[in-house]
Structure 1
Amino acid sequence: MPFTADHRHSPHRTTSPRPHRTGSRARRVTAALAAPVLGLTLLAPAAQASPGTDPEAAGRALLHRIGAPPATTADGPVWSPTATGFASVPTDELPDGTTGGAGGRTVTVRDAADLAAFAAADEPLTILVQGTLDVEPFGSMIDVASDKTIVGAATGGELVGGGLRLLEVENVIIRNLTFRDSYVAADWDGKSADNDNDGIRIDTSDHVWVDHNEFARLGDGQLDVRKDSTAVTASWNSFHDHNKTLGVGWTDNVVTTLTLHHNRFSNVHQRNGSIDNVALGHLYNNWLSGVSSYGTTSRGGSTLLVESSVYENARNPLILSGDAARLHQRDNLFRGNWGEEPAETGPTFEASDLYEYTADDVEDVVPLLTRYAGTRSSRDERLGRQVMVAQDGTGDFLSVQAAVGAASRSLRPVEIVVGPGTYREVLSVWPGAEGLTIRGATGDPADVVVTYDKPASDWATATVLADGVTLRDLTLENTYDAEANGPRETLALRDAGDGTVLDDVALVGGGRSTDDPRDS
């Protein structure tokens, strides 16, 4: 039956002492992945930090240089000087786990060409990214070689219009960077040939730590972990205003080891994350809020442990896909969700047998991630009382949903003015966007069309879950193809907010429902 309740899942939990950081953990991980795998690409040995280099001291010096705050939680420093999760697990080649460019030179880059040159260099490097780097050509990805730390400078660093690609490399750290605005107007689904770009793409790579970054309004995926990558940790990142957020898989082999902890997902649609054929996946202290398709999925042959995370205002918050997928979840908080009930297949593995961690209490997750997820400057987002959406790039945003996401994080009501055009996207107005107005710029509803093509059992073209929302001078259209897919109920608008005002709004191809999906 549909899941709607606000509650915590807390099955009986057994604990084991957390081991010290020794090489024995690498042997335990190897034993856990004992199944043979064929056809993998062998990586060249990484150049571990130079003899005499203390990776923890090097990490602390770098954090001091970028002005990282010294906050600490039960799990350790919010800005850890060394890698966490599976990225911290030592091997014979990497006895200190992931160390990136520790022991090498430190360089500063201020344009994308210099970043590309240093990122590809055949030497350990710490690369400080300073300012806004426009990646050219638009939508391209910069290749990163092994033994690199790429980090935003104290004054901030961001990549606009492109991303980073890790292909058959190892020992890479990426921190304190913003990846934004490689979205192609009118291609919310990310299907066009010129839109196959990600914020970070990790292919057939080992020991990668992605920490304290911000991802917004990108082309295809925000972070993709693909093709038998191993020992990957993504921590304290902020993912928002996007369709396909975090995908893992693109392989028939089941070898990937992955940790996702203290990540914030907000105003997102799908792949949060979509975790396919992951041998061991540990997810803890993540916060998903405002998810219109599905939250976390264990797919294929994946084995997941999900704990002490918050799922709110999410459709299908925690689900399975495939008979072989396994998922054990404990001490999670679910509130205001709908769709499938959170999945549970029974105990899977104990991450504490493999590396050191202490999950923060689930009640602390929202305040912690509100304050600390993303870069040092992620919380500095400022929004005027009126913002413009225009597909020709003359406005503040290219998609209506991106503008709504920003408005939901604003401390005051916002008016979104939408320029002429057809916007193929799913529009969701989440709690937090109270008092929002969305209006067409010309005053003629025929000039501004928001359209999508799913039946009501999936989602409406537009869903309003906030109170006091005004929609004006718009067309909301549902183009579900009943002839091709069979007759189904369709909705142009699902309106569950109190006091919603519709002023000269045309509903085409589907009606309006005032049922709250969270009550179904």
Structure 2
Amino acid sequence: MPRPSLVSPPRRRTRPKLLVAAAAIPIAVGVLTPLPAVAAPMSDLLRLMGAPNASSLDGPIWSATATGFASAPTAELPHGTTGGAGGDTVVARDAASLAAYAASEEPLIILVSGDIVVGDGDMITVGDDKTIAGAASGGAIVDGGLFVDNAENVVIRNLTFRDSYIPGDWDGKFDDNDNDGIRIDTSDHVWIDHNEFARVGDGQLDVRKDSTAITVSWNYFHDHNKTLGVGWTEQALTTITLHHNRFSNVHQRNASLDNVAYGHVYNNWLSGVSSYGINARGQASVLVESSVFEQARNPLIADGGRVHQRDNIFRDVWGTEPAESGPTFEASEFYAYTADPADEVVGLLTAHAGTTKTPRVERIARHVTVAQDGTGDFASIHAAVGAASRSPHPVEIVVEPGVYREVVSIWKGADRLTIRGATGNAGDVVVTYDKPDIDWANTPTVSVYAENLELRDLTIENSYDGSAGESVAYALRNSADRTELRNVVIIGDVDEGDPR
């Protein structure tokens, strides 16, 4: 396969539309000392983010310059992706100021201080030559996201994207739910680094419509259905690097790489995958190396695309055999990198994936509630169980009345977990999904892999309509020892799988 051109794809050069109304805030508000120009592109930003000084074999864990395909130089960007380097540094503390800064025409380094609540899952549009980063004190985008639309040279780092989830819409299909964490459309030279994504409405990160020179590094994706999708195009133009990312308690698109010209995936950790892990789709050409797949169904598949894998660790995985299509390309022909040994990946990502404020030990109470009206600790059972599986202590999850349409996988690590309906009436809490067991993409409504689990006072249902053809439709799959069901109604098939 010929080496791709790293020239930016044709794009409209128009000022991005604001999806969030910006108040009339002078752009000078919050201006700090400007950073030095391109000679030292982002070194001062590390201090402003409170980034630790740590390294792996691959280099600095908090790099001062872009890595992967985002580092590729062009005539317009001889230093690769630099974001707002050389521009002023400003501070955003609310959605209006962030939207105004992000849409401005000049280069800017925008520090996000505290939780910025956008609301209704709306997205703030980001223009050219911007760095948006969480401050050392912490920065989060809550109930909203960032939209990189027909833009060039954007860096997004050290931010938490959380809680745009719409209760009851686990699939992200409601008409009012296009709530992505970050969406990148027809853009080039974008670096997404050291962010955390949790409980987002639709896609946690979508890279779409012929975006190129993209790097996604050292992020933490967890407790979600559609994690990281790449594609939405008939062309194979996208170049993307995914390295040192952690995926925990996720379902599909981890990542889905559709029609990517070159997709380099290395040193990622997928733990707790209920549908499929990495998928090379369409015309995709993918290299996967030195990554860890554990407690993962269909960990590495090729749905039309080609994938070459080497030096990966597969443990406690099932479903389809990890795909191997033969050699695809060598990433070292495009940029310098050194893959860390696969047996060091879990330790590295436990310590360093996510933001400077990401907890390294999950903080969850011993007793939590799930409610769809916003009164609980979580809005989905799936998210509560994910947190419990990473907790150092047993957890009781009490579920308030409602119909919860979602897939729930109770991973090893959630041993001695209790999930019970709040009222004691099994009919008041219904956990339901509607997929038959006919291909790699379909799963039971509830799957149990943890030992000493108690399910009580609820209904577990697979509502698949078999009139179109006979097929097994599992409501419950149990692959663990000492699972106790008390006052549980099961509607659908039950599978006593092999312990994993």
**1:36 positional shift:** 12
Question: Which residue, 266, 283, 292 being the options, matches 1:301?
Answer: 283
Normalization by structure 2: what TM-score? 0.93
| Partner Cα distance (2:84, 2:252) in 1 | 33
Question: Which residue, 267, 271, 285 being the options, matches 1:289?
Answer: 271
Determine the structure 1 residue equivalent to 2:25.
none
Determine the structure 1 residue equivalent to 2:321.
341
Summarize the Cα distance change of 1:55–1:77 in structure 2 as closer, same or farther, 3 Å threshold. Answer: farther
Partner secondary structure for residue 374 of structure 2:
coil
| Partner Cα distance (1:240, 1:382) in 2 | 14
Which blocks of at least 5 consecutive residues in structure 2 are unaligned?
A: 16-34
Determine the structure 2 residue equivalent to 1:437.
418
**1:40 positional shift:** 4.3
| Partner Cα distance (1:182, 1:171) in 2 | 26
| Partner Cα distance (2:350, 2:325) in 1 | 31
| Partner Cα distance (2:7, 2:112) in 1 | 40
Summarize the Cα distance change of 1:35–1:386 in structure 2 as closer, same or farther, 3 Å threshold. Answer: closer
Residue 460 of structure 1 pairs with residue 444 of structure 2: yes
| Partner Cα distance (1:411, 1:194) in 2 | 37
Determine the structure 2 residue equivalent to 1:491.
474
Determine the structure 2 residue equivalent to 1:368.
348
Determine the structure 1 residue equivalent to 2:80.
97
Check whether the contact 1:56–1:81 (CA below 8 A) recurs between aligned residues.
no
Determine the structure 2 residue equivalent to 1:358.
338
Residue 33 of structure 1 pairs with residue 14 of structure 2: no
Question: Which residue, 314, 321, 324 being the options, matches 2:303?
Answer: 321
- Provide, for residues 422-460 of structure 1, a one-character-per-residue CA deviation record: whole Å limited to 9, x for no partner: 000001001111111100000000000000111234321
Determine the structure 1 residue equivalent to 2:89.
106
**1:43 positional shift:** 4.8
Greater relative contact order (Cα < 8 A, sep 6+): 1
Determine the structure 2 residue equivalent to 1:153.
135
- Provide, for residues 242-285 of structure 1, a one-character-per-residue CA deviation record: whole Å limited to 9, x for no partner: 00000000001111000000000110000001001100110000
Determine the structure 2 residue equivalent to 1:249.
231
Check whether the contact 2:182–2:206 (CA below 8 A) recurs between aligned residues.
yes
Check whether the contact 2:7–2:74 (CA below 8 A) recurs between aligned residues.
no
| Partner Cα distance (1:142, 1:506) in 2 | 44
Query: Structure 2: which amino acid aligns with 1:495?
Result: N
Partner secondary structure for residue 344 of structure 2:
helix
Partner secondary structure for residue 383 of structure 2:
helix
- Provide, for residues 307-347 of structure 1, a one-character-per-residue CA deviation record: whole Å limited to 9, x for no partner: 0001111111100112xx11111000101111110111111
| Partner Cα distance (1:236, 1:89) in 2 | 19
Determine the structure 2 residue equivalent to 1:76.
59
Check whether the contact 1:40–1:228 (CA below 8 A) recurs between aligned residues.
no
Query: Structure 1: which amino acid aligns with 2:368?
Result: V
Check whether the contact 1:55–1:82 (CA below 8 A) recurs between aligned residues.
no
Question: Which residue, 191, 194, 203 being the options, matches 1:212?
Answer: 194
Query: Structure 1: which amino acid aligns with 2:398?
Result: V
Query: Structure 1: which amino acid aligns with 2:212?
Result: T
Identity, % of aligned positions: 64
- Provide, for residues 58-88 of structure 1, a one-character-per-residue CA deviation record: whole Å limited to 9, x for no partner: 4221111221111100000110010000000
**1:234 positional shift:** 0.2
Question: Which residue, 114, 121, 124 being the options, matches 1:142?
Answer: 124
Partner secondary structure for residue 302 of structure 2:
strand
Query: Structure 2: which amino acid aligns with 1:448?
Result: V
Residue 391 of structure 1 pairs with residue 363 of structure 2: no
Partner secondary structure for residue 488 of structure 1:
coil
Partner secondary structure for residue 80 of structure 1:
coil
Query: Structure 1: which amino acid aligns with 2:405?
Result: R
Partner secondary structure for residue 435 of structure 1:
coil
Query: Structure 1: which amino acid aligns with 2:455?
Result: L
**1:55 positional shift:** 3.9
| Partner Cα distance (1:166, 1:430) in 2 | 35
| Partner Cα distance (1:44, 1:114) in 2 | 21
Size of the alignment, in residue pairs? 478
Determine the structure 2 residue equivalent to 1:186.
168
Check whether the contact 1:371–1:379 (CA below 8 A) recurs between aligned residues.
no
| Partner Cα distance (2:6, 2:325) in 1 | 21
Determine the structure 2 residue equivalent to 1:11.
none
| Partner Cα distance (1:422, 1:303) in 2 | 41
- Provide, for residues 188-207 of structure 1, a one-character-per-residue CA deviation record: whole Å limited to 9, x for no partner: 01000111120000000000
**1:481 positional shift:** 1.0
Question: Which residue, 388, 396, 418 being the options, matches 2:399?
Answer: 418
- Provide, for residues 221-256 of structure 1, a one-character-per-residue CA deviation record: whole Å limited to 9, x for no partner: 000000000000000000000000000000011110
Determine the structure 2 residue equivalent to 1:470.
454
Check whether the contact 2:6–2:74 (CA below 8 A) recurs between aligned residues.
no
Check whether the contact 2:181–2:203 (CA below 8 A) recurs between aligned residues.
yes
Q: CA RMSD in A?
A: 2.0
- Provide, for residues 353-398 of structure 1, a one-character-per-residue CA deviation record: whole Å limited to 9, x for no partner: 1101000000000010011000011126421111110000000111
**1:35 positional shift:** 12
Check whether the contact 1:338–1:517 (CA below 8 A) recurs between aligned residues.
no
| Partner Cα distance (1:179, 1:112) in 2 | 13
Query: Structure 1: which amino acid aligns with 2:394?
Result: P
| Partner Cα distance (2:90, 2:5) in 1 | 41
Determine the structure 2 residue equivalent to 1:118.
101
| Partner Cα distance (1:263, 1:374) in 2 | 8
Summarize the Cα distance change of 1:64–1:36 in structure 2 as closer, same or farther, 3 Å threshold. Answer: closer
Check whether the contact 2:449–2:499 (CA below 8 A) recurs between aligned residues.
no
| Partner Cα distance (1:59, 1:352) in 2 | 24
Check whether the contact 2:407–2:446 (CA below 8 A) recurs between aligned residues.
yes
| Partner Cα distance (2:351, 2:104) in 1 | 35
Partner secondary structure for residue 254 of structure 1:
coil
Query: Structure 1: which amino acid aligns with 2:94?
Result: D
| Partner Cα distance (2:429, 2:403) in 1 | 6
Check whether the contact 2:6–2:213 (CA below 8 A) recurs between aligned residues.
no
